[in-house]
Amino acid sequence: MALEFRPHREDDLADMARIWNEVVEAGDAFPQVDTMGVDQAREFFAAQTLSTVAAVDDKIFGLYILHPNNVGRCAHVANASYAVASSARGLGLGRALVQDSLEQAARKGFWGLQFNAVVASNEAAVHLYEDMGFTRVGTIPGGFINFMGAYEDAHIFFKRLREEPRER
């Protein structure tokens, strides 16, 4: 009954979509507006560098996606998004997901992890990232529109995973 982090499988997609959609529907953390079904989830999660689930006895409680933050000359910096089932929030799973994503990003050759839009009112995420050594490198005033239509600030966070490469 140990928590396991593993790459997603086809039979995980319905649970992954359900958990992802919970965050989307809350309208206070993810930029997406539209939810996804299993077919869209299959395509979306397959397009990532890594889509990882957190499971206990094959029951999915959370997930993350990892991919380059940008293309070409910026592809050495990763980006990630995390989703935790509402039934598992407040138990430390978010921290475990972030920690696993940092380890996997380093294994995949990324030298940093950047979050482009951490909503300022998402105090749990802001606290978690700062506690885990991320640096808030900037704030985009009104960079996020919440579920009520109000504009909120969005923070950019960065954490170096290894020394910057000298040459490519």
Share of the chain above pLDDT 90, in %: 92
Average pLDDT along the chain: 95
pLDDT tens digits for range 152-162: 999 999 999 98
Q: What is the pLDDT of residue 58?
A: 86
Task: Quote the pTM value.
Answer: 0.93
Q: What is the pLDDT of residue 167?
A: 60
Residues 19-42: what's their mean pLDDT? 97
Residue 62: name the closest of 20, 24, 28 by CA: 20
Q: What is the pLDDT of residue 162?
A: 85
Whether residue 144 is predicted with pLDDT greater than 60 in this model: the reply is yes
Share of the chain above pLDDT 70, in %: 97
Which residue in the block uniquely carries the two structure tokens 């809350």?
Answer: 26
Q: What is the pLDDT of residue 1?
A: 72
Whether residue 87 is predicted with pLDDT greater than 70 in this model: the reply is yes
With beta carbons less than 8 A apart as the criterion, state whether 161 and 111 touch.
Answer: yes
Residue 100: name the closest of 116, 117, 84, 86 by CA: 84
Residue 119: name the closest of 32, 29, 33, 31 by CA: 29
CA-to-CA separations, 71 to 67, 74, 75, 76, 107, in angstroms, rounded: 10, 6, 5, 9, 19
